[in-house]
Amino acid sequence: MAASTAMKKHTSFLLASLMVLSSLVCKAAEPLKIGYSDWPGWVAWEIGIKKGWFKEAGVDVEFVWMDYVKSMEAYAAGKLDAVCVTNGDALVTGATGKPSVCVLLNDYSNGNDMIVAKGDYKTLKDLKGKTIALEEGFVEHLLLLKGLELNGMAESDITIKNTPTNSTPQVFSSGQVDSIAAWQPNSGQALKLVPGSKTVFSSKDAPGLIYDGLFCDRDSVKAHRAEWLKVVKVWFRISEYLAKEDNMDDALAILAERVGVKPAEYEPLFAGTKILTPAETLKVWEKGDGLGSIYGSSKIVDDFNVKFKVYEKPADIGSYFDPTLTKEALGK
């Protein structure tokens, strides 16, 4: 009787062990899920997807096309293994939702983030005493502050009308404000809606203020480092492809199809994004002050976030960035 009971316990233990093992195998077999949205440096992933480069690299990855804010929410909720966001928004998501680690820097905004003003105003200085619509606490607010700083102005020199970024073109065209701060495609839409309007300051005037990257779940990077390394390697294949002028017609067709516009319409949006070359990426990964380093740039953003109470305490910036996968992918 005792032997029979022992046998049953042994059998039950084996069955339980097999169920746990089966669960682990299934979990390991799941693809890496990456949330990406409508920004040229992230739409560029579509090239690797369409050309089958991830399959060639032997990595099972699923790119989930989402609205930008919803992608951050999905990541914070644990529905994604990684999300494509700006360095500043990664700090916000980490402080208010779920920390991440950047394993890859795609680009920096090179004109797509803009301060757009009516035709009566030629420069940012001309907006002194005027009203600017923007989403407070977001990256365009930071862009405006940098523009004011570079033009010897203070925030008190202008009035901010807190407005969701997606609504800024309509607010601008309604005549409620003199200017807006927005990123593409909203900034481009504003320029079309108001005849004679122009860009008086943009991210091209402050290169490195807004970096875009692949921010991953920290545990996932530890558990699946080899797979993430393959993803990073595919990205550099994409960036090298984009660096060749002969490939641009094909590349623009792929990018434009993803967002539902014609290649000719997408070309200026892509031009406003500086895709980093391997050499440029390694340079940005070096620790230093100022916008030329991801660490220096993120310190500026962190100071902004704390000042405007986006979150309370300064972030541990170093924990958000891991250059080792990039260096390994590039043989450095």
What is the average pLDDT value for the chain, to the nearest integer?
Answer: 92
Kindly report whether the peptide bond that precedes residue 185 is cis, defined as omega within 30 degrees of 0. Answer: yes
pLDDT digits (tens, 9 = 90+) for 85-122: 999 999 999 999 999 999 999 999 999 999 999 999 99
Q: What is the pLDDT of residue 93?
A: 95
Q: What is the pLDDT of residue 137?
A: 87
Question: What is the pTM assigned to this prediction?
Answer: 0.87
pLDDT digits (tens, 9 = 90+) for 182-219: 998 899 999 999 999 999 999 999 999 999 999 999 99
Please report the pLDDT score of residue 239 as a whole number. Answer: 97
pLDDT above 50: residue 7: no
Residue-level pLDDT at 81: 98
Q: What is the pLDDT of residue 185?
A: 86
Segment 14-28 shows an average pLDDT of 43
Tell me what pLDDT residue 138 has: 87
pLDDT at 314 exceeding the cut of 90: yes
Q: Do 258 and 71 form a contact (C-beta atoms < 8 A)? A: no
Does 209 or 19 have the greater pLDDT score?
209
Average pLDDT over residues 13-23: 42
Q: What pLDDT score was predicted for residue 2?
A: 40
Phi, psi values for residue 331, rounded to 5°: 70, 30
Confidence of residue 35 (pLDDT cuts 50, 70, 90): very high
Within 8 A by CB and 6+ apart from 94, the residues are: 100, 315, 320
pLDDT band at 29 (very low <50, low <70, confident <90, very high): confident
pLDDT in tens, 39-97: 999 999 999 999 999 999 999 999 999 999 899 999 999 999 999 999 999 999 999 99
Q: Which residues, in sequence order, are CB contacts of 51 under 8 Å at separation 6+?
A: none
Q: pLDDT, tens digit, for every residue of 169-188?
A: 999 999 999 999 999 889 99
Lowest mean pLDDT among 26-35, 215-224, 309-318: 26-35
